[in-house]
Amino acid sequence: MSEITYAQAIKDAMSEEMRRDPKVFLLGEDIGAYGGAFGVTRGMLEEFGPERIRDTPISEAAITGAAVGAAMTGMRPVMEIMFSDFMSIAMDQLVNQAAKARYQFGGQAAIPMVVRAPEGSGTGAAAQHSQSPESWILNVPGLKVVAPSTPRDAKGLLKSAIRDDNPVVFFEQKLLYRTKGEVPEGEYLVPLGKAEVRREGTHLSVITYGRMVARCLEAAAALAGEGIEAEVIDLRSLKPLDTEAIIGSVRKTGRALIVHESPTFAGFGGEIAATICDSEAFFHLDAPVRRLGGRDVPIPYNKNLEAAAVPTLEGILSTIRALVK
Amino acid sequence: MKLTREKLLDMYRKMALSRAFEETAIRLFSLGKVHGTAHFCVGEEATGTGVCAGIELQDLIYATHRGHGQSISKGMDIKRMMAEFLGKATGVCKGKGGCMHIADISAGNLGANGIVGGGIPIAVGAALSTAMQKIDRVVVCFFGDGASNQGTFHEAINLASVWKLPIVFACVNNRYGMSMSVNASMNITDISVRAASYGIPGRSVDGNDVLAVHDAAREAREHARTKGPVLLVLNTYRIMGHSKSDSGAYRKKEEVEEWKKKDPIKRFASWLVEQEVAAAEELATLDAEARSTVEDAVAFAESSPEPSLDTVEQDVYA
């Protein structure tokens, strides 16, 4: 085991895959000499050269479409959208092209591409650089969605995403880039579609992913002192979704709280709640399924307002206390 | 450029096949046998055929929603194409795409696109992949005058020019984006001048002259292969409405009649006869053969099974 940052884990995943497979290459804005807006690709230009670390003009639709076309014709592109908010500019290429080419052509095409998309608030970048837009993507058949919370998962899931023959949108957590964690030495993969129990508990299941995992674990640790044992499930992959892990945990605990940073309204938490209520876990429920997500507001600039726009530690604590009362 | 008799007659055959396919498709609509819509390239046949005749077998094309002629000219099997039009299991896309989203990737046809301008960045990606894998081929990206007003056109052509990719941007200017005339949709009269913004050659060609289109495509291919992108504008006219539901209220009948006189197939036929490449009777035989090929395709499609319902969730993911 060695301890590295989340950003380093992502870079290591890409570098290892590029060394393994000459068809893997990177494209995106300022990923070359600049090293990426968050420094994730720093040093990769020196190792792999400009042919495989391709700096692009500021043209999100062209970057995404070029990745689709390259993927259709034998390459395995890993593209970076500098901020996941900018996916909106590339939405046709993602939604109407990448996601649909295989199906509408009767299975003739495979689109093995990864869209790296840094997301989340907390950086003071305000409304157009702070969103968590996974719900936009999750409603599109044909796209897979991943949102790792630790360096270990970031590396293992990205390697799996690069080897997957489908378009995978890989949501990176901006505030986690500098966090450190242990990763195994040598080659390993984390499969898409498998959740991980981060903390076992008996009184309720907290189902979360991405940046909110650490906050939920902090809440669970604090509540243990009050005699509340919360089980924390990190989904890691949002699509495919590990429904078994969710249902199994809620059957055991009888209570569920879903926490994510993206807006609650019409958000992914609703899907998870429905997954619970459509299953036999419903008959084990001792309380209504609760959701805690972002407020129905654009992310504001002011630090205090920004923090209040997404689930807070206090909010998680009080919701759990009310749920298990 | 002097072409062999065999090549010239093959070009004529492709154009005749495209026309016969669409005339039959229109008949099938009127018989209520089609679930969906279609966009016809009647009068534009010289563009798809001329370009595909001017490139090589290993080259890739990216087609448009008005792409019957492009697909036929790139060699798509007529039976499987008609079966796709009728949504059958034997269709080239297993009945999942219809003719607006038809592709034959193994034959070098990366697919038609239902989004105007949506395919241009993808074609650039295919050209990037071609360059990175050092494959000796070019990509031809078909799109229309309407698509040249989309952001994707400008983003993609800029990217291709910066990376000097082996791609020919083939703009089929049929003078209408649905109902809007090019006179109203852009402040220029020659779309090829847009190439100057990207520092690449731009050329405007009579899109109803299949030989001129062929020669221009041939030259553009050579340039693309060795020096980078070219913008080729093929000026033609959309004789039919935009799709099946078009009353034509936005243009004068006289205008359409004027362009009907410039029919690219008749024009090519006259040339072939004048140059003594083929006798009129021989061309009439080719026309009849084209119609009979399409009738066989209709019979094949009509006798083909519907896709089984258990295929509805197939091929979403690889």
Q: Are residues A38 and A172 in the same domain?
A: yes
Give the pair of three-digit tokens for residue A241. Answer: 């979704």
Q: Cα separations (Å) of A7 from A49, A148, A179, A238, B309?
A: 20, 12, 8, 21, 45
Cα–Cα distance between B117 and A238 in angstroms, integer?
A: 31
Residue A190, in any domain of the structure: no
Q: Residue B27: what residue type?
A: R
Enumerate the residues of chain B whose CB falls inside 8 A of the CB of residue A115.
none
Distance, in Å, from the CA atom of B230 to the CA atom of B166, rounded to the nearest integer, reads 9
Q: How many domains are contained in chain A?
A: 2
| Segment B163-193, tens digit of pLDDT | 999 999 999 999 999 999 999 999 999 999 9
A155 is a domain residue? yes
Alpha carbon distance A41, A32 (integer Å): 7
- Six-digit token string for A144: 């897979």
Measure in Å the smallest separation between the Cα of B62 and chain A Cα atoms.
10
Which domains can be identified in chain B, with CATH numbers? 12-304 (3.40.50.970)
Is there a domain that residue A15 lies in? yes
Contact B115 A69 (CB under 8 A): no
The CA radius of gyration of chain B, in Å to the nearest whole number, is 19
Q: Tell me: do A105 and A225 sit in the same domain.
A: no
Q: What share of chain A is helix, strand, coil (3-state, %, to 5)?
A: 40, 20, 40
A153 and A211 assigned to the same domain: no
Q: Tell me A167's DSSP state.
A: -
Two tokens at A212?
Answer: 């909110």
- Apex A19 CA angle, A17 and A20, nearest 5: 60
Same domain for A91 and A130, yes or no, is yes
Scanning every residue of chain B, which has its alpha carbon at the shortest distance from the alpha carbon of A143?
B317
* CB–CB contact A69 B159 (8 Å): no
Distances (CA, A) of A78 to A126, A257, A279, A288: 27, 34, 37, 41
Of the three residues A148, A183, A218, the one that is the final residue of a domain is: A183
Does the pLDDT value for residue B33 go beyond 90? Answer: yes
In a domain, A75, yes or no: yes
Q: Is the pTM of this model over 0.90?
A: yes
Choice among A129, A203, A260, A284 that is catalytic: A129
Contact A92, A98 (CB under 8 A): no
Give domain status of residue A171, yes or no: yes
How far is Cα of residue A220 from the mean position of the Cα atoms in its chain?
22
Q: Are A135 and A23 members of one domain?
A: yes
ipTM over 0.85: yes
Read off the amino acid at residue A5. Answer: T
Q: Is residue A252 part of a domain?
A: yes
Q: How far apart are CA B157 and CA B230, in angstroms?
A: 9
Does the pLDDT of residue B56 top 90, yes or no?
Answer: yes
Which residues of A fall within a CB distance of 8 Å from B122?
65-66, 68-69, 72, 93, 97
At A260, list the tokens.
Answer: 């994510």
* Cα separation values, B301 from B89, B102, B172, B289, B292, Å: 9, 15, 30, 18, 14
Is it the case that residue B244 has pLDDT exceeding 90?
Answer: no
Q: What pLDDT is recorded for position B247?
A: 84
- CA-to-CA distance for B174 and B264, rounded, in angstroms? 13
Known active-site residue A129: yes
CATH of the domain at A260: 3.40.50.920
Assess whether A156 and A270 both reside in one domain.
no
Residue A206 lies in a domain: yes
Residues A250 and A178 in one domain: no
B32: burial class by Cβ within 10 Å (0-12, 13-18, 19+)?
A: exposed
- CATH code for the domain in which residue A6 is found: 3.40.50.970
Closest residue in A to B129 (Cα) is A70
- Amino acid letter for position A203: H
Residues A177 and A201 in one domain: no
Contact A68 B129 (CB under 8 A): no
The reported pLDDT for the residue numbered A250 is 98
- Across the interface, whether the CB atoms of A106 and B95 are under 8 A apart is answered yes
Peptide bond into A184 cis (omega under 30): no
- With CA atoms as reference, the chain A residue closest to B108 would be A73
Within a domain: A288: yes
A101 and A215, same domain (yes or no): no
Q: Is the domain of A71 the same as that of A200?
A: no
Token pair, residue A268, equals: 């992914």
Are A298 and A221 within one domain? yes
Of the candidates B126, B314, B318, the beta carbon closest to that of A69 is on B126
Task: State the 10-residue block means of pLDDT for chain A, 325 residues long.
Answer: 96 98 98 97 98 98 98 98 98 98 97 98 97 98 98 98 98 98 97 98 98 98 97 98 98 98 98 98 98 98 98 98 95
B82-129 pLDDT, tens digit each: 999 999 999 999 999 999 999 999 999 999 999 999 999 999 999 999
Distances (CA, A) of A177 to A2, A160, A188, B234: 16, 19, 20, 50
Chain A hits for B314, Cβ within 8 Å: 107
Q: Which DSSP helix (H) or strand (E) runs through B39?
A: none
> Min CA distance, A103 vs chain B (Å)?
5
Give chain B positions within 8 Å (CB) of A77. 125
Q: What is the mean pLDDT of chain B?
A: 97
Asked whether the beta carbons of residue B103 and residue A166 sit closer than 8 angstroms, the reply is no
What are the angstrom distances between the C-alpha of A270 and each of A204, A234, A255, A273, A309?
18, 16, 15, 5, 18
Interface of A with B (CB under 8 A): 25, 51, 54, 56-57, 59, 61-75, 77, 92-93, 96-97, 100-112, 141-142, 144, 165-166
Query: Tell me, what amino acid is at A223?
Result: L
Look at residue A145 and give its three-state secondary structure: strand
Among A183, A205, A222, the domain-final residue is: A183
Q: Give the separation between CA B143 and CA B22, rounded to whole angstroms.
A: 19
User: Which residues constitute the domain of residue A271?
Assistant: 196-324
Give residue B246's pLDDT.
85
From residue B69, alpha-carbon distances to A235, A301, A313, B30 in Å are: 48, 54, 62, 21
How far is the alpha carbon of B162 from chain A, nearest alpha carbon, in Å?
9
Residues A169 and A222 in one domain: no
